Chain A
Amino acid sequence: MILSGFLRKAAQPVLAPLIAVIAAVLVTSVVVTIAGASVSDFWSVMTTAPKGRNWVNIINQSSMIFLAALAAAIGFRMNLFNIGVEGQYTIASYAAALVAGYAFFPGKLNVVVAVLVAMVVGALWAGIAGLLKVTRGVSEVISTIMLNAIAGTLVGYLLSNHGEQYGQGRRTTPIPDSSQFTGWTFFGEHDGAVWSLALIAVVAGFGISFLINRTRFGFDLRATGQNEEAAVASGVQVKRMVVISMLLSGGIAGLIWMPALFGGADYYGPPFQHQLGFTGIAVALLGRNRPLGIFFGAVLFAWLSEQANPLGLVAGISPSIVQITQGVVVLAVVIAYEVVRRWSTAQEQRTLRAVLDSTPPQHEQKEVTA
């Protein structure tokens, strides 16, 4: 009895991801075989112990993926499907790089201002979708997809027309040396540095976790997500919540690229890393929208992408194959959670029935006394 209760409690957070990872390993192995490559080569490359510079890249990438997933998760927690993280961080990154490049303020103050600009621009861009939803009833799914396309095109236009010439492309003015915030070199000189602003991810993780679990706002947000009617009945202003959540989600999205900008990217231009917004959605799902789960998901995704790099060199397999692994992990997690949830609900019902069946007299007594 105690054991099965424990099993039930442990089942969802442990069993489901475990099933998902095993499924992903199996499916990826099958795909590798179909592609005509060696399965053992593939997994030996993927599980090789990372070298110094690989660790640095995994940590740096994890921080950005974590922020992206956190931004998506805030919306998901209250049933808001913000798939506009991509557009929000694109336009926010451009704005921040532009402001940082102008260097209106000296040294590190410039960094603070640029980060604030990124948050505000990201929040406003997401806020458009929030406002459209509460005033015109436009589904945030549609509006954020549209806003992604608009953000990409707008930034490209501004860059083409106002950016500075840079080889075959255009870029914003690089940030001054005094505003660089490179980070810590844990390994060799040439292995790169862990970005200082990767710490933003840690701060944001704890901050959002506190906000959602320990505050009135967080309670309202969760309540709206779980049962909107009940939330309205208990006095939650849902429209206000929608707008605030979108602003918050967009604000976090604005932070995504900040560690990279001050950690060595120096400007917004052709090397800008796209697609993090979509990766974030996948990782938010993988981590069940909880900061701790997202953390593990972000590390897993960063690990897979980084370790995939030598696949072509060593095993003759296209590194794109890990995108299949990543996709299968997400799909399998969602399915596994649903299966485990049904299983534990059935267990609960069985236990309840057993308890009720074993104590029928109480029931009769009650009727007599009444």
Chain B
Amino acid sequence: MRRVSKIAAVACIASLALTGCGKNDDTKGSDKTSTSSADLCKDASGDGPKVGLAYDVGGRGDQSFNDSAYAGLKKAVDELGATCTEGEATDGEAESARETRLRDMADAGMNPIIGVGFAYSEAVNAVAPDYTDINFGVIDGFDPDADANDNVAYLGFAENEGSFLVGVAAAMKTQSDHIGFVGGVHNDLIKKFEAGYVAGAEAVNPDITVDVKYIEESDLAGFGDPAGGKEAATAEFDNGADVVYHASGASGSGVFEAAVDAGDGHWAIGVDSDQYLTAPAEQQSHILTSMLKRVDVATFDMIQSIADGKPLVSYQTYDLKVDGVGYSTSGGFVDDIKSDIDGYADKIKSGEIKVPTAP
């Protein structure tokens, strides 16, 4: 009995401590952004919209999805005089916790309230009808039932188109005609990234080999698991891939570490934000490019629509045509193939290339 308690206690603490470590690692590189951002909402004192921003698992400092939403918020604070409050999801939290977060913001008079991530879809659907004078936005969101909410905007992206472009970059840069993909969670959203990436690579080289791995089958913890990201990417590098694209949120820092460990000539491709800008110096030389999903544009648009008195509602799609997705050139590693990538981008915009949304 006592022996079991001791083992169990050690195991519990170890698991808590280890998740803690994982989190620490991935915030290290973004110290600049997180210290300045900690004060953003405290210092904001404009008379623009009062924004409630609810982050997904990983939170601010993930150097990816959530940070991109934060960038949009910052722009709104600077340009529209917005004020804000922020909330953050924790791993394994109850659905009710998401609802409570949104209700707390609504009760505090926030408008608009933006949920960052599709996981807020249900919670917004439950909360929005109770606050008809407040506008809600859900990044990647969808309406889970048949009753349309006329105060909710679902801000979606054509991730497959952006992923297509980095797939082109990967296929042109690989020396071994062998590339990889690491997804956070094996759901339809991340499969969209995979589909675009594979299609882009095959457009350049139909015989290319693409390794595909997912960190989790259904548990959203896959977006906050740098150790899992590193394991998956290392396996792909060991298997012969020399460029690995990740769509795994905060787990991506592990993918970058794997690229550094694999040595020169091994590349990682970032996602959502321009991850070259937030990565530590030793990783920067391994970040080929990043697929930009302009969550910041969508977040800012949503806030601006409130400031203008013309709130966004219903489904909004941010695709290549409106610069809702794209790729980054920081580091200059894709400068030599930029014209080729842009050529494909033009074909997508004109409709000549249709990018698949499912693998």
Which A residues fall within an 8 A CB radius of B? Answer: 36, 53-54, 56-57, 60-61, 76-77, 79-81, 83, 141, 152-153, 155-157, 159-160, 165-170, 190, 192, 225-226, 260, 265, 270-276, 278-279, 281-282, 284-285, 289, 305-306, 308-310, 312-313, 316, 318-320, 323-324, 326-327, 330-331, 334, 337-338
Contact = CB atoms under 8 A, between A and B. Distances in A.
B63 to A, nearest CB: 16
A285 B11 CA distance: 11
B20 interface: yes
Given A225-B1, A281-B8, A309 B100 contact: yes
A327 B99 CA distance: 25
B85 A313 contact: yes
Interface in B8-47: 8-9, 11-13, 15-17, 19-20, 23, 38, 41-42
Interface in B236-293: none
Contact of B97 (A57, A226, A318): A57
B4 A81 contact: yes
B221 A274 contact: yes
B59 interface: yes
B188 A165 contact: yes
Given A152-B216, A281-B12, A313-B85, A323 B188 contact: no
B17 A327 contact: yes
Contacts of A157: 217
A336 to B, nearest CB: 11
A81 B8 contact: yes
Contacts of B186: 156, 160
A281 B12 CA distance: 8
Contacts of A306: 97, 100
B16 A316 contact: no
B5 interface: yes
Interface stretch (B103-111, B170-178, B344-352): B103-111
22 contacts: A57-B96, A76-B4, A79-B4, A165-B188, A167-B121, A169-B118, A170-B188, A265-B95, A289-B1, A305-B93, A305-B94, A308-B90, A309-B97, A309-B101, A309-B104, A316-B42, A320-B23, A320-B88, A323-B16, A323-B90, A326-B16, A331-B9
B187 interface: yes
A281 B88 CA distance: 25
Interface in B173-197: 186-189
B45 to A, nearest CB: 15
A324 B9 CA distance: 14
Interface residues of B, number: 60
Q: Which 5 pairs, one residue from A and one from B, show the smallest C-beta to C-beta distance?
A: A156-B217, A275-B92, A167-B142, A156-B218, A168-B189
Given A190-B130, A313-B108, A334 B95 contact: no
Contacts of A273: 92-95
A159 B85 CA distance: 36
A179 B149 CA distance: 26
Contact of A169 (B1, B12, B189): B189
A150 B118 CA distance: 26
Contact of B217 (A155, A192, A276, A323): A155
A226 B1 contact: yes
A152 B97 contact: no
A313 B218 contact: no
Interface of B: 1-9, 11-13, 15-17, 19-20, 23, 38, 41-42, 59, 85-88, 90-97, 99-101, 103-105, 108, 118-119, 121-122, 130, 140-142, 144, 186-189, 216-221
Given A57-B100, A260-B95, 17 more contacts: A61-B96, A81-B8, A156-B216, A170-B187, A192-B99, A265-B95, A274-B220, A278-B12, A282-B12, A305-B90, A309-B97, A313-B104, A313-B105, A316-B41, A318-B88, A326-B16, A330-B9
A81 B121 CA distance: 38
B219 A152 contact: yes
B335 to A, nearest CB: 34
A334 B5 CA distance: 7
Contacts of A160: 186-187, 217-218
A285 B1 CA distance: 11
A274 B119 CA distance: 13
A169 B141 CA distance: 11
Given A53-B100, A276-B92, A285 B118 contact: no
A275 B12 CA distance: 12
Q: Which of B1, B186, B188 has the most CB of A within 10 A?
A: B1
Given A285-B8, A318-B88, A327 B189 contact: no
A83 B10 CA distance: 13
Contacts of A166: 144
A367 to B, nearest CB: 39
B8 A167 contact: no
B90 to A, nearest CB: 5
A319 B94 CA distance: 13
Given A60-B96, A334-B6, A312 B88 contact: yes
Contacts of B121: 167
A226 B1 CA distance: 6
B265 to A, nearest CB: 33
Contacts of A152: 216-219
A171 to B, nearest CB: 9
